Amino acid sequence: MEQIINLHIEKLPEGVYLATSDDISGLVAQGRTITETLEIARDVAKKLLEAEAEHHQLSNLKQTEDSFDYPLVVGS
Protein backbone atom coordinates (compact mmCIF):
# COMPACT_ATOMS: atom_id res chain seq x y z
CA MET A 1 0.00 0.00 0.00
CA GLU A 2 1.48 3.32 -1.05
CA GLN A 3 0.46 6.61 0.50
CA ILE A 4 1.06 10.21 -0.48
CA ILE A 5 2.97 12.38 1.98
CA ASN A 6 3.48 16.06 1.31
CA LEU A 7 6.95 17.36 2.15
CA HIS A 8 8.23 20.87 2.64
CA ILE A 9 11.87 21.18 1.53
CA GLU A 10 14.04 24.19 2.16
CA LYS A 11 17.70 24.94 1.56
CA LEU A 12 19.38 26.00 4.78
CA PRO A 13 22.11 28.69 4.95
CA GLU A 14 24.63 25.90 5.64
CA GLY A 15 23.92 24.57 2.12
CA VAL A 16 22.02 21.43 3.17
CA TYR A 17 18.37 20.64 2.55
CA LEU A 18 15.77 20.11 5.27
CA ALA A 19 12.53 18.19 4.73
CA THR A 20 9.56 18.33 7.12
CA SER A 21 5.94 17.29 6.81
CA ASP A 22 2.63 18.40 8.26
CA ASP A 23 1.23 14.99 7.25
CA ILE A 24 3.44 12.93 9.61
CA SER A 25 4.29 14.37 12.99
CA GLY A 26 8.01 14.12 13.71
CA LEU A 27 9.19 13.72 10.13
CA VAL A 28 12.44 15.64 9.77
CA ALA A 29 15.17 14.75 7.27
CA GLN A 30 18.35 16.52 6.22
CA GLY A 31 20.67 15.83 3.29
CA ARG A 32 23.36 17.34 1.11
CA THR A 33 21.18 17.15 -2.01
CA ILE A 34 17.45 17.14 -2.68
CA THR A 35 17.69 13.51 -3.80
CA GLU A 36 19.50 12.45 -0.65
CA THR A 37 17.01 14.39 1.50
CA LEU A 38 14.07 12.68 -0.22
CA GLU A 39 15.61 9.23 0.30
CA ILE A 40 16.15 9.93 4.00
CA ALA A 41 12.64 11.39 4.33
CA ARG A 42 11.18 8.23 2.74
CA ASP A 43 13.03 6.02 5.24
CA VAL A 44 11.98 8.19 8.19
CA ALA A 45 8.35 8.23 7.01
CA LYS A 46 8.30 4.41 6.74
CA LYS A 47 9.63 4.05 10.28
CA LEU A 48 7.17 6.58 11.69
CA LEU A 49 4.24 4.86 9.93
CA GLU A 50 5.40 1.47 11.25
CA ALA A 51 5.53 2.91 14.79
CA GLU A 52 2.01 4.32 14.37
CA ALA A 53 0.75 0.92 13.20
CA GLU A 54 2.33 -0.79 16.24
CA HIS A 55 0.42 1.59 18.50
CA HIS A 56 -2.80 0.99 16.51
CA GLN A 57 -2.95 4.61 15.36
CA LEU A 58 -4.68 5.08 12.04
CA SER A 59 -3.01 7.19 9.40
CA ASN A 60 -5.16 9.68 7.52
CA LEU A 61 -2.83 9.81 4.52
CA LYS A 62 -4.24 9.60 1.02
CA GLN A 63 -3.74 6.35 -0.85
CA THR A 64 -2.13 6.62 -4.25
CA GLU A 65 -4.53 6.50 -7.17
CA ASP A 66 -4.02 5.11 -10.65
CA SER A 67 -3.07 8.64 -11.69
CA PHE A 68 -1.60 11.54 -9.73
CA ASP A 69 0.64 14.59 -10.21
CA TYR A 70 4.27 14.46 -9.13
CA PRO A 71 6.68 17.40 -9.29
CA LEU A 72 9.93 16.33 -10.95
CA VAL A 73 13.02 18.33 -9.99
CA VAL A 74 15.68 18.35 -12.73
CA GLY A 75 19.08 20.07 -12.48
CA SER A 76 20.55 21.93 -15.39
Burial class of residue 41 (count of CB atoms within 10 Å of its CB; 0-12, 13-18, 19+): buried
DSSP string, the chain: --EE---EEEE-TTS-EEEE-SSSTT-EEEESSHHHHHHHHHHHHHHHHHHHHHTTPPP-PEEP-SS---PPP---
pTM above the 0.75 mark?
yes
What the chain holds in terms of domains, given with CATH numbers, is 3-60 (3.30.160.250)
pLDDT of the residue at 1: 72
Q: What is the pLDDT of residues 19-71, one digit of tens each?
A: 999 999 999 999 999 999 999 999 999 999 999 888 877 677 878 888 888 88
